[in-house]
Structure 1
Amino acid sequence: MYLNIFSGRSHNDVTQYFVFPWIFSLDIICTQENIEIQNKNSYRNLQKTMGALGSQKRIEKFKEKYELSDPFNQNIPSYFFGSHYSSPAIVFQFLIRIQPFGQGALLLQNGKFDIADRLFFSISETYKNATEEMSDVRELIPEFFYLPEFFLNMQKHDFGIQQTGERVHNVILPQWSLQNPFLFVFIHRKGLESEFVCENINQWINLIFGIKQKGKEAEIFLNKFFYLTYEDSINIDQIKNEDEKISIESQVMHFGQTPSQILNQQFPVKNCFFEEEIFIFCQKFKFESILIIQIISEKNRIFTFSKKGIFQLFKIQKNGFSLKNVWNKQLNFFSFSSFDFSCKFKNLPFLTYSFQEKIYFLIGGYIDGQVQFYSFSKKNDSKQIIQNNFINIPNNNSTITAFQINEDDQIIFMGNKQGELAIFQFNPLQEVQIQEITRFYQHFEEITCLQVSKYLKILASSSLDGTINIYNYFNYKFLRNISHPKMLSINSFLLVASPVCSILFFSSQDCVFYSYSINGQLLSKYQEDTPNIYDMNIIKNDNFMEFLVFFYFILFYFQFLFIYFRFIQIMRINALKYQNYLFQKKQK
């Protein structure tokens, strides 16, 4: 994506839209029922352009066209392809099922969709055309790797009937995806991150953005397009004839533009991190009278508070996934009787953040709706407490049951027992002063969890009423809600950006983890054995593998369970199949 941005491509300009490669071979896309991600024969030759991937007969025709360019018009350099691998028509055709691109497709066709046989109705047929037709050498767009919804006709457009008698509706996917767009995107993304693509993507980059884009290298690798597709081919301001200027601008706008060349040497081979075998394992830890367990994914830390006021910080050793105690601290703790144990939280509401040379804690759960505030000095190795008092929350007399924070914007989110979600601005320099921005009342019962995603740019809240509400982070506009399929309580959830934008939530009433797309489609579910999930998060090991990590309480021990996250997110896990891993670390 960064290479696209550096070369002038943008989501905001369909004439210069992002370009991504076809990665799998034609055979894998069109005929195979199964796919082997680690088999190099599953992949396209990334050293060749789409025009060079077809039959030898087609290649010879392109070469003949290049050699027979008009000798009487020296102003037009020789070229292999009159069409381009990226153009507004291609973008609108791919994204015709979602807005505003569907409207753009209508504008291109004078208010009507193109005839059904020319629409994007099948990935395999589109791939065949791009390797067989003389007028089609298209590449892909990034949505093929992260946006399953664009394959679905969720707006129920009437795209017409093909000559075969088939009505165009959802996009027909490769057989190995089981006509499941979420599974297709998951596998397609996995292919993009595979060992073969990782080791060869630099060859494709050389063709699109680099040294093989122009000059002699472009001629050798069948990579020369019509001269007006290149940014330095003509100075439009020097053209005085208005009709000629309009003609050139129309050509540039509608028939594709080659990205800016950002590299004039061979692009290096990418550093690769490869996934290990899927596994699940668990470790046991004995803690005394724990009130709070919180997993901090960014720093791979775990905080615990006990009833005796003992604060402990653990570091997750990423290679072995063991816990190392970093430090302990006895706090001047609160009165245990002041907490509202009529609430359903297993963890006391807890928040930590840092600013300059201080670390701050907020603890909720008090009957009167107050929040206890601690601050520590980072400079002192003993982590001496320098402030400890209570904060009165404006316009609130209900128990605070959930916290979340965006440190960059200095905003704290709080949910309470009555189902209210309040958003506050805070000033780290004035440690106990907060100012309310807005408040929501969509939930009808206690709020159980709050999450903010900087990547997805959303805020979300879950409740005992069985719903998760999603808001636009920038204007706090309500977007949609997702409900538990049985309308049971939702006790905790996570917002997940990769490989598919989704929401993972848990209900202690049916002891099931549910994975939903961000737009509300059920992806998978995973049955747990206990309702006592205390906290969960996603962490990464040194190879950037993602794991779902959660604590649960059973037989006087907290179990610390790691599950390979990408697997649980899309596929159903058969716990019996992995029973040998459940209570022991996988042996290397």
Structure 2
Amino acid sequence: MYFVEDNASDTIENSSFHGETEPASFSWTYEEIKEVHKRWWQLRDNAVEIFLTNGRTLLLAFDNTKVRNDVYHNILTNNLPNLLEYGNITALTHLWCTGQITNFEYLTHLNKHAGRSFNDLMQYPVFPFILSDYISETLDLNDPSVYRNLVKPIAVQSKEKEDRYVDTYKYLEEEYRKGAREDDPMPPVQPYHYGSHYSNSGTVLHFLVRLPPFTKMFLAYQDQSFDIPDRTFHSTNTTWRLSSYESMTDVKELIPEFFYLPDFLVNREGFDFGVRQNGDRVNHVNLPPWARNDPRLFILIHRQALESDHVSQTICHWIDLVFGYKQKGKASVQAINVFHPATYFGMDVSAVEDPVQRRALETMIKTYGQTPRQLFHTAHVSRPGSRLIMEGELPAAMGLLVQFAFRETREHTKEIIYPSPLPWIKGLKWGEYVGSPSAPDPVVCFSQPHGERFGSLQALPTKAICGLSRKFCLLMIYSKEQGVRSMHSTDIQWSAILSWGYADNILRLKSKQSEPPVNFIQSSQFHQVTSCAWVPDSCQLFTGSKSGVITAYMNRFTSSTPSEIEMESQVHLYGHTAEITSLFVCKPYSIMISVSKDGTCIIWDLN
């Protein structure tokens, strides 16, 4: 598929809002498409978001809904071998309830289903404030008092503020009942509790101001200057205090970066944000004492707080407020959760006839923010606690004896408590890895003498481990998951062993146990192969050579050749001056690392 801009030459001159200019024309293959979603852009139902196998996403906005629908259907009618079926929220909720996906993964999926996108600051993914304690030296994640109340919106964590918002609503309700006066340029709107919103472009840029390219976007948003130092994001505790009880207009929730990205808390670029009224210079974000001034530690503890038993059992209430039945209607009024009517999903600006009102509404919504699309119309289920069989869950007919028998057996399997990885944080869990204090001791489950020395061990997503001789590389293509149910299971569609180091400089491929290897790639005598690496999703093969040159081969899966795979193109990568000893691919970050005898290692971007 090709996208070519009509006035490509003009585009280069006008640098875009994001600072760097995007190429005016680009193309990608249908094989690369993993997901396609209809999206709203600037409050119009006219966009499509495309997720590619290499981890990139594209948000494309069109002139109108009809053009978008045509493009959307044209894409889907083609053969898309890597397309994920992605529509079943019930299956997703079941995976979460049974503990197969984490709270973080579940909230990320809900944001995606509700039309939120990292490509759109107006509809950026929204995550909840989790903790309420940002001042203690120590933290106990098993203590419910350190958490925010997830049943209530962030702005009404205290009773006194609750009353003030209810009064606001009542007053606006009266005004709305009276109706419009003739001389009123903006007639009264339906009543609401909050005139601002928990997520909008200003909020996102406020949090990400230290992190390029968001810094440039922030400056464009603020007339090329940083905010007043006291208003700049400078402290997690201040942000919590303002959102939860000090300010009547600040009702911010968090963004996903608070749970995975320490970099946005650090002023690595040395931006001058000025000096606050108390004389402190705004630099790195001030973290809670329990984070020991370490952004990475803060993110790790914060993420574990999100995954704690307490949050797992109460996050359903927050989902009700943001994505569920308390988002609209009577339930939202009772929950003190009504925002300005212009912020609700599906508010179509083009339906407003008066141009002045339309422009006012457009500006309002661009700055106010947008409520996500409603996903649930009844109360969201709670996730059961870590002990799945609770008291009283057994049918009464089973009798007292059985109840006692269950109680007896349950007493014996007491959970062993392991010391926390950080002595000042109670309730932290160790990770799941071999040798983890909370994992059982490793046992030998398979042993077999092998004729050759192993060159490498490779962990496969099928949970198996493959041992390979030196000068061997495993090539694999995974069959694509159909739908959510198989998010955690992967099948291998095709595999082969690539071998090198022959006198004729040919790389050979063996894909069938019973047949001899077939010649795959003839490498030149100047680039004698010393190492190989394979990227499964994008069918890329990298070879390192004695001369220090790396060659990247783009391949295509096909049934017309004996090897079932054919090479389409190749490109040389220069950077090392001596023999390449190893190549390693890290798919989640789309990078490859090459190591050479010249004493250097280089990180390459696979995209």
Asked if structure 2 preserves the Cα contact closer than 8 Å seen for 1:366 and 1:399, the reply is: no
The residue number in structure 2 matching 1:525 is none
CA distance in 2, matches of 1:467, 1:271: 51
Q: For 2:274, give the aligned amino acid.
A: G
Instruction: Select which of 296, 300, 316 maps to 1:186.
Output: 300
Q: For 1:104, give the aligned amino acid.
A: M
Q: Deviations over 1:424-466 (max 9, x none)?
A: 1334443275354211121233333333344323333333444
Asked if structure 1 preserves the Cα contact closer than 8 Å seen for 2:474 and 2:495, the reply is: no
Q: For 2:474, give the aligned amino acid.
A: L
Instruction: Select which of 130, 135, 142 maps to 2:256.
Output: 142
| Count of matched residue pairs | 422
The residue number in structure 2 matching 1:568 is none
Matched, 1:42 2:146: yes
SS in 2 for 1:450: strand
Shift of 1:199: 2.1
Judging changes above 3 Å, is the alpha-carbon distance between structure 1 residues 386 and 69 closer, same or farther for their aligned structure 2 residues? same
Q: For 2:453, give the aligned amino acid.
A: L
Alignment of 1:22-421 (within 5 A): 22-24=129-131, 26-27=132-133, 30-53=134-157, 55-69=158-172, 71-74=174-177, 75-132=188-245, 133-232=247-346, 235-270=348-383, 277-279=437-439, 281=441, 287-292=449-454, 293-304=456-467, 347-353=470-476, 359-366=495-502, 369-376=505-512, 384-421=513-550
Asked if structure 2 preserves the Cα contact closer than 8 Å seen for 1:32 and 1:175, the reply is: yes
Q: Deviations over 1:74-118 (max 9, x none)?
A: 452221111111111111110001122212221232211111000
Asked if structure 2 preserves the Cα contact closer than 8 Å seen for 1:370 and 1:399, the reply is: no
Shift of 1:287: 3.5
The residue number in structure 2 matching 1:8 is 115
Alignment of 1:422-571 (within 5 A): 422-428=551-557, 429=559, 430=561, 431=563, 434-474=567-607
Q: For 2:117, give the aligned amino acid.
A: S
Q: For 1:387, give the aligned amino acid.
A: P
Shift of 1:64: 1.4
Asked if structure 2 preserves the Cα contact closer than 8 Å seen for 1:394 and 1:436, the reply is: no
CA distance in 1, matches of 2:357, 2:298: 45
Asked if structure 1 preserves the Cα contact closer than 8 Å seen for 2:265 and 2:285, the reply is: yes
Shift of 1:386: 1.3
Shift of 1:8: 1.6
What's the TM-score, normalizing by structure 2? 0.64
SS in 2 for 1:68: helix
Asked if structure 1 preserves the Cα contact closer than 8 Å seen for 2:556 and 2:568, the reply is: no
Shift of 1:209: 0.6
Q: For 2:372, give the aligned amino acid.
A: P
Listed as ranges, the gaps of 5+ residues in structure 2 are 1-107, 178-187, 387-428, 479-491
Asked if structure 1 preserves the Cα contact closer than 8 Å seen for 2:475 and 2:536, the reply is: no
Q: Deviations over 1:509-561 (max 9, x none)?
A: xxxxxxxxxxxxxxxxxxxxxxxxxxxxxxxxxxxxxxxxxxxxxxxxxxxxx
Judging changes above 3 Å, is the alpha-carbon distance between structure 1 residues 23 and 290 closer, same or farther for their aligned structure 2 residues? farther
RMSD: 2.7
Shift of 1:392: 4.6
Shift of 1:409: 2.8
Percent identity, please: 31
Q: For 1:105, give the aligned amino acid.
A: F
Shift of 1:20: 0.4
CA distance in 1, matches of 2:514, 2:578: 35
| Larger proportion of strand | 1
Shift of 1:469: 2.3
Judging changes above 3 Å, is the alpha-carbon distance between structure 1 residues 354 and 4 closer, same or farther for their aligned structure 2 residues? closer
CA distance in 2, matches of 1:176, 1:463: 42
SS in 1 for 2:453: strand
Q: For 1:33, give the aligned amino acid.
A: E
CA distance in 2, matches of 1:176, 1:205: 28
Q: Deviations over 1:462-488 (max 9, x none)?
A: 3344444223322xxxxxxxxxxxxxx
Judging changes above 3 Å, is the alpha-carbon distance between structure 1 residues 349 and 214 closer, same or farther for their aligned structure 2 residues? same
Judging changes above 3 Å, is the alpha-carbon distance between structure 1 residues 366 and 32 closer, same or farther for their aligned structure 2 residues? farther
CA distance in 1, matches of 2:468, 2:272: 58
Asked if structure 2 preserves the Cα contact closer than 8 Å seen for 1:366 and 1:400, the reply is: no
SS in 2 for 1:249: helix
Shift of 1:389: 4.2
CA distance in 2, matches of 1:435, 1:111: 47
| Larger proportion of helix | 2
Judging changes above 3 Å, is the alpha-carbon distance between structure 1 residues 57 and 348 closer, same or farther for their aligned structure 2 residues? same
CA distance in 2, matches of 1:36, 1:396: 63
The residue number in structure 1 matching 2:3 is none
Q: For 1:157, give the aligned amino acid.
A: F
CA distance in 1, matches of 2:277, 2:494: 70
CA distance in 1, matches of 2:556, 2:221: 51
Judging changes above 3 Å, is the alpha-carbon distance between structure 1 residues 305 and 103 closer, same or farther for their aligned structure 2 residues? closer
Judging changes above 3 Å, is the alpha-carbon distance between structure 1 residues 224 and 295 closer, same or farther for their aligned structure 2 residues? same
CA distance in 2, matches of 1:392, 1:256: 54
CA distance in 2, matches of 1:38, 1:414: 50
CA distance in 1, matches of 2:305, 2:600: 34
Shift of 1:218: 0.9
SS in 2 for 1:350: strand
Shift of 1:401: 3.0
CA distance in 1, matches of 2:549, 2:358: 59
CA distance in 2, matches of 1:105, 1:207: 29
Q: For 2:374, give the aligned amino acid.
A: Q
Asked if structure 1 preserves the Cα contact closer than 8 Å seen for 2:192 and 2:338, the reply is: yes
Asked if structure 2 preserves the Cα contact closer than 8 Å seen for 1:368 and 1:399, the reply is: no
Judging changes above 3 Å, is the alpha-carbon distance between structure 1 residues 469 and 39 closer, same or farther for their aligned structure 2 residues? farther
Shift of 1:387: 2.6
Asked if structure 1 preserves the Cα contact closer than 8 Å seen for 2:200 and 2:368, the reply is: yes
CA distance in 1, matches of 2:339, 2:318: 16
Judging changes above 3 Å, is the alpha-carbon distance between structure 1 residues 272 and 406 closer, same or farther for their aligned structure 2 residues? farther
Listed as ranges, the gaps of 5+ residues in structure 1 are 307-346, 377-383, 475-588
CA distance in 2, matches of 1:238, 1:358: 52
Moved more, 249-258 or 36-45: 36-45
Judging changes above 3 Å, is the alpha-carbon distance between structure 1 residues 220 and 70 closer, same or farther for their aligned structure 2 residues? closer
Q: For 1:297, give the aligned amino acid.
A: L
Q: Deviations over 1:193-244 (max 9, x none)?
A: 2222222222111100110111111111111111211135x55334332211
Asked if structure 2 preserves the Cα contact closer than 8 Å seen for 1:447 and 1:462, the reply is: yes
Q: For 1:441, give the aligned amino acid.
A: Y
Q: For 1:142, give the aligned amino acid.
A: P
